[in-house]
Amino acid sequence: MAVDKTTFEAIVPSRFISLSFPTPNPNPNHSSPLLRIAVLDSPTLTLDPPLVAAMFVPQHRESDWIFSTESGHLHLLHSSPGISRLILLGNSPEKDHPSSTIYSKNNNNNNSMSMSMEVSFKPLLLALSPKSCFKHGNPHIPILSYEDGVICGMVLERFVGSIVGEMLVEDVEIEVENGAGNREFRRRLRFKRMPNLIQSEVRIFPKEGIDFNSIEIGEVEFSPDNNVLLQPYLSPMVASLSLIGKHIQDRIFSGFRPKALCLGVGGGALLSFLKTQLGFEVLGVEEDEQVLSVARKFFGLQYCPLLKIFVGDAMEFLEKISHPSGECNASSIDAEFDVIMVDLDSSDARSGVYAPPLEFGEKHVLMAAKSILSKNGILALNVIPQSNAFYETTKHEFQQVFSELYEIDVRNGENFVLIATTSPVMSSSTDTKNLFLSKLRNVISGAFMDSIKKI
């Protein structure tokens, strides 16, 4: 690809350019003789003079969607506030990259490579910087790093869904925070349209019961474990049930199972947890059948009379089930739930990751959701705000429809859980005589139950 020398002289919002050329100083240890450079300009107005930053792609992860796609590049830029142009440099991804290739951080000499590349490629980085950066001499171009705690990983399979597009399932070993030498392995589902977002994640264990110290990714078969919720916002969503602990306990004592509707299935960890750990009857709604196939094959999702799935759009489902007719399968569903749990995110990578989709805040959708909740039912919503204004608007929309609104700050700098109630909350989450609340505290952190705040 021929590039005019003036191409990079100005910031052009949302412009993305990727090119490859022979590596100036080829390293015999590198598999690729080509260097790939990808340049993305921020879609929004930024500082004047603009701030340019660079990132070196970790060796052996060149084909990872995080680094090889525009959507991955965009998420990296969004995670670095104030950056006007982000430049990625690394080996060119192999065209026929095998799915079974194992990435190992321990075999990755990326730190020393980054330091040498920073010196070698400083003139190139300056040449890729806009003219306005040079108002006060040569600009400082910070070198950003990417850390996701992955020690090693391997893609198991890749799929294409009719709705979500390309996706992959991967097994990873992650760094353990306590440093006690224990090892932890996880299985993840990611979509190409938002590759930096982990759609689903479960803990995995070797099938043969082999000692953890003697296993490696790619050498043994793993089985998923859905007894623990790993994604940071899922336990707070389950903690919302403490607000209606008395109602659920009364249903159980009356011989009925509490009922949950989960909008968004992914790998199915939340649905499996509600059924097996808390005794719920669960109905999930997922738009893409291929996602469900992946959930059953790799994440341990099992259909049964107590766990059923409806294939279709979540918001259309709410409308149909709240106004049943004989023309759709949803009409045969007993439409009264004790809790609706909503885990839906936007599909527009250009706007960054946010949840829920804007359409979910529309009054007719919220009214439909409220109409299928029991008298003491709740709706628990995972929220990733685009901005403070987005979050305030979301809260206001729910307050216009529901009786009370509560909040849990997940404290990961990203997620909040909003809990909307159909009736005023009367019971206490600290009721020691409530067997359901006792069970709830045993299977998730009680800290989330205690941190629920009324808005």
pLDDT tens-digit series, residues 420-438: 999 999 866 667 789 999 9
In degrees to the nearest 10, what's the CA dihedral of 386, 420, 271, 208? Answer: 70
Residue 60, in any domain of the structure: yes
The residue segments making up the domain with residue 407 are 233-454
Q: Are residues 250 and 372 in the same domain?
A: yes
Write down which residue in 224, 241, 273 finishes a domain. Answer: 224
Cα Rg, the chain, nearest whole Å: 24
Write down which residue in 79, 108, 133 finishes a domain. Answer: 133
User: What is the average pLDDT value for the chain, to the nearest integer?
Assistant: 89
Predicted model pTM = 0.90
Q: Is the peptide bond before 356 cis (omega within 30 degrees of 0)?
A: yes
Q: Are residues 272 and 201 in the same domain?
A: no
Q: Are residues 354 and 438 in the same domain?
A: yes
Residue entry with tokens 């006792």: 438
Residue 338, in any domain of the structure: yes
Task: Give the chain's domain count.
Answer: 3
Collapsing DSSP to helix, strand or coil, 162 comes out as coil
Q: Cα separation of 326 and 389, whole Å? A: 41
Q: What is the pLDDT of residues 214-270, one digit of tens each?
A: 788 988 889 999 999 999 999 999 999 999 999 999 999 999 999 999 999 999 999
Q: Residues of 47-86 as b/e, b for ≥16 C-beta within 10 angstroms?
A: eebbbbbbbbbbbbbbbbbbbbbbbbbbbbbbeeeebbbb
Q: Are residues 371 and 258 in the same domain?
A: yes
Residue 180, in any domain of the structure: yes
440 φ, ψ to 5°?
-60, -45
Taking 90 as the threshold, does the pLDDT of residue 28 lie above it? no
Q: Are residues 388 and 345 in the same domain?
A: yes
Find the length of the chain: 455
Q: Are 53 and 83 in contact (CB under 8 A)?
A: yes
CB atoms inside a 10 Å sphere around CB 242: 26
The average pLDDT across 335-364 equals 88
